[in-house]
Amino acid sequence: MPRKRNGEFAGNKAYLPSKPCAVCGRTMTWRRAWAKTWDEVRYCSERCRRNKHAATTPETSRDV
Ligand SMILES: [Zn+2]
């Protein structure tokens, strides 16, 4: 049985990178669409991207 190099993605679907969404904290699993931008992806969805301010300043719109 040939050995694969460590770190090589050899068709094993068991391993996919994941990280928490910066807004909702939901675990995002790597998607092929994010292959080139994975390091920049911070939000699980467009909705969270738009709500990114809500994560840092929750309910501070009273003084407006
Ligand atoms: Zn999210």
Average pLDDT over residues 22-46: 94
φ, ψ for residue 48 (rounded to 5)? -70, -35
CB-based burial, 26-38: b 16+ in 10 Å, e otherwise: eebeeeeeeeeee
DSSP 8-state assignment for residue 43: -
Q: Inform me whether the pLDDT recorded for 32 exceeds 60.
A: yes
Kindly state whether residue 22 falls inside one of the protein's structural domains. Answer: yes
Please indicate, yes or no, if residue 44 is contained in any of the structural domains: yes
> 5 alpha carbon to ligand 1 midpoint, in Å?
34
Residue 38 lies in a domain: yes
Local structure of 27: helix, strand or coil:
strand
Asked whether residue 29 is assigned to any structural domain, the reply reads yes
Q: Does 50 score more than 70 pLDDT?
A: yes
- Ligand 1 centroid to residue 62 C-alpha, Å: 24
Calculate the CA 15 to chain-centre distance. Answer: 15
Q: 36: domain range?
A: 18-56
Domain assignment present for residue 62? The answer is no
Q: Assess if residue 64 is contained within a domain.
A: no
**Ligand 1 centroid to residue 43 C-alpha, Å:** 5
Residue 1 is predicted with a pLDDT of: 67
2, part of any domain:
no
The full length of the chain comes to 64
Residue 32 falls inside a structural domain? yes
Domain count, the chain: 1
